[in-house]
């Protein structure tokens, strides 16, 4: 939510390169936020080095509801220096991604984690991610903390002569 993941990954890769342990180019880093609270996306789209406070922030992904991250300038630096990008996704797309991961992988991820899949699908559709690239998505929590994001429609059994 506050960007500590992307900040830490960027810092770690920089240090690994400085030590000579990683010689390849740094991976492109992507910041993902909900359309209901997207100050980093707005700043990145405008070429800014810091974000502005996002008023009336609202998204079902509580962990990424951060109207003004303290380390916003570090998140933006990581994006710019790695030729990455910033992507916003709707709550509807987050729920779709959460359901996709549950049905295809058996993983009940938190909405914040599902947002990364939604963003990756969006970037693949635009060609920003190509089909031959390896992509790492981060999920930092369980969907069990967000039961309201799952729609369960159990089959109701009726009592009849056969029971």
pLDDT in tens, the chain (163 residues): 789 999 999 999 999 999 999 888 899 999 999 999 999 999 999 999 999 999 999 999 989 999 999 999 999 999 999 999 999 999 999 999 999 999 999 989 999 999 999 999 999 999 999 999 999 999 988 776 776 777 767 777 777 766 5
* Residue-number span of the structural domain to which 35 is assigned: 4-149
Q: Is 72 inside a domain boundary?
A: yes
- Give the domain CATH number at 123: 3.40.50.1100
DSSP character at residue 87: E
**Is 160 part of any domain?**
no
For residue 152, what is the DSSP state?
-
46 occurs within a structural domain: yes
Beta bridge partners of 89: 34
The answer to whether position 127 is within a domain reads yes
Q: Say if 87 falls within a structural domain.
A: yes
Any domain includes 92: yes
pLDDT in the model for residue 136:
95
Who's near 39: CB < 8 A, 6+ residues apart?
33, 51, 52, 53, 54, 66, 67, 68, 69, 72
The reply to whether 44 falls in a domain is yes
Domain count of the chain? Answer: 1
Residue 48 lies in a domain: yes
DSSP 88: E
Q: What is the pLDDT of residue 101?
A: 93
pLDDT at 162: 63
Question: What is the pLDDT at residue 110?
Answer: 92
């Amino acid at each position: 939510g506050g960007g500590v993941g992307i900040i830490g990954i960027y810092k770690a890769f920089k240090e690994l390169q400085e030590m000579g342990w990683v010689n390849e180019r740094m991976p492109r880093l992507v910041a993902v936020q909900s359309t209901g609270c997207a100050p980093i996306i707005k700043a990145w789209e405008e070429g800014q080095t810091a974000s502005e406070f996002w008023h009336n922030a609202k998204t079902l992904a509580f962990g990424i509801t951060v109207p003004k991250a303290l380390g916003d300038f570090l998140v933006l630096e990581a994006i710019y220096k790695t030729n990455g990008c910033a992507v916003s996704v709707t709550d509807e797309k987050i729920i779709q991604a959460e359901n996709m991961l549950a049905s295809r992988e058996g993983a009940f991820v938190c909405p914040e984690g599902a947002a990364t899949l939604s963003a990756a699908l969006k970037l693949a559709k635009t060609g920003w991610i190509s089909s031959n690239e390896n992509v790492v998505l981060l999920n930092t929590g369980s969907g069990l903390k967000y039961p309201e994001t799952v729609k369960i429609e159990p089959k109701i059994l009726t009592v009849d002569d056969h029971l």
